[in-house]
Amino acid sequence: MEKLENLTPGMPIVWGGNRVTTVSEGLAASFEPGDSLIVMQTDGTLLHVPAAEQQVATDAVDAATAAFDQMGGVSDAKISEFYELFASTLADDASFAPIAAANRSDVARAKARGRSATRLVLSDRMRADMIEGLRSWSNAPGGRGSVIESIDHDGWRVDQVRDGLGVVGFVFEGRPNVFADAAGVLRSGNTVVFRIGSDALGTARAIVEHALRPALALTGLPPGAAVLVDSAAHASAWAMFSDPRLALAVARGSGAATEQLGAVARQAGNSVSLHGTGGAWIVAGAQADAEAFGAAVYHSLDRKVCNTLNTCCIVAERADDLVPVFLDALQRAGERRGAQPKVHVLESSVGSVPKAWFARRVAIARADGEHEERQAEPIAESGLGAEWEWEESPEVTLAVVPSVDQAIDWFNRYSPRFIASLISEDGGEQDRFFGLVDAPFFGNGFTRWVDGQYALDKPELGLSNWEHGRLFGRGGILSGDSVYTIRSRVTQEDPDIGR
């Protein structure tokens, strides 16, 4: 079979069965013998994977695949020992010093390029969370070998047994603490190959060298049980996710990048778990307690992550008293961060917000610095699903709705179907809301509870929305111990059984 050795400008490439895209001059010039081309069947995008990036990804998956073949002989006690040693190394100041130095260099480089370093800094709190997460895995039951169901027959028995799923491919944003999350899949007998965002690659290399790799070696786990794809190029992630040996491809990061990675993995036939687009909704019903509502808004805006309040709906009959409560909570959330907040107001709801908010120009802190903007701006109904990626200035959409049912309809139509919270003292209304709103996470207060370590006492690989439909066989929190398969094991007591 011939291989693609070169591309020419204008060369037609078929995608989607009956559509055609063409090769650009830049792609043709950069493509060399040995490189690969991924043709996205969703939109015709051409992804160039240089041979070197393909090799980096292939080598990593090779190592993780070989390690998985050995994991069946690794005891749960040894895996627990690995987590404890990994945690202890991070807790030791001398061992952690080169990791901290690498992180300071990463942060300085990111800032020099004008990039946000908010989530990149390996703070004392992040370090403590990593250590806590690893130790929680050390103390958690492995689950491998546990019998979840037994079916008895005359002379024989079938046991349904939990076991490791295989190699988990994990691509995540530049937050160093996700190492603890990714390593969680070893708890249930899996291996992991992961790539981190380029901003945090130096920190990742240091964690591998000074903590992860020594912990694997000293506990006798195969060296490929947790492997870093050591590349800053996006192409290495495309190459990894297109490897059909992955049992599960997990992507966490910005919505567009995560969506593309998911499409690459699906196209290769890999199972996918995406954790990109976020943004929570809070709805205040007619029976909402004003104090509880204000507290929910305030405590949902302490920092910008996927479970931060993004869109707030208030029923019209309570707008006069609850809109001021909302604006006060938003203002206090900004003051807590030393910044001014911003609100996007549904065009039909503009009259419910004081004119001063629309007239006032304030400094809004964004990733590339402060910008003078109007503190309130109208937004069309079609913009209700926009996720605000703010830095220091809390940013929220406000909509006054005729009814809770209208808020449910808008949530199901425009949101990423992620997190919904109803503030209402009416239990029947809460039950109706839960039944109709299409979200994996539901509550009656603040939204930031949606977190594996915070809510379930176990580090998460990511939080899934229902943007592409409900998830098969698991909840929205993907954690290390939820990555498993079920094997059937027969014990035959009567040797003379036949069909």
For the segment 256-285, the average pLDDT, to the nearest whole number, is: 91
Give every strand in the sheet of 342-346, ordered side by side.
376-379, 342-346, 395-401, 309-315, 280-284, 419-423, 441-443
Map out the domains of the chain as residue ranges: 12-49, 52-275, 280-454
Percentage of residues of the chain with pLDDT beyond 90: 78
Q: What is the CATH number of domain 280-454?
A: 3.40.309.10
> What distance in Å separates the CA atoms of residue 117 and residue 391, rounded to the nearest whole number?
10
pLDDT of residue 390: 93
Rounded Cα distance between 304 and 316, Å, is 28
Which of these, 168, 172, 163, lies nearest to 247 by C-alpha position? 168
User: In the predicted model, what is the mean pLDDT of the chain?
Assistant: 93
The Cα–Cα gap between 10 and 20 comes to 11
At which residue do the structure tokens 């749960």 appear?
76
Pick the closest to residue 71 from 459, 477, 484 (CA basis).
484
CA distance 180 to 2: 43
Residue 80 phi/psi, 5-degree rounding, is -60, -40
The SS3 assignment for 223 reads: helix
CA distance 400 to 403: 9
Using CA atoms, how far residue 250 sits from 354, 389, 395, 459, in Å, is 44, 22, 28, 15
- Residue 403, token pair as written in the block: 């009814």
The whole-angstrom separation of Cα 482 and Cα 487 is 15
Cβ distance 302 to 272 under 8 Å? no
- Asked whether residue 110 carries a pLDDT value surpassing 90, the answer given is no
Which DSSP helix (H) or strand (E) runs through 202?
A: helix 201-207
pLDDT band at 349 (very low <50, low <70, confident <90, very high): very high
What is the distance between the alpha carbons of residues 45 and 263, in angstroms, rounded to a whole number? 11
**Which of these CATH numbers, 3.40.50.10130, 3.30.1360.10, 2.40.30.10, 3.40.605.10, describes 52-275?**
3.40.605.10
Which whole number is the average pLDDT over 78-90? 96
Give the model's pLDDT for residue 473. 80
The tens digit of pLDDT for each residue in 171-201 reads 987 788 777 778 889 999 999 999 998 889 9
Q: Can you give the pLDDT at residue 146? A: 94
Is there a shared CATH topology between the 52-275 domain and the 280-454 domain?
Answer: no
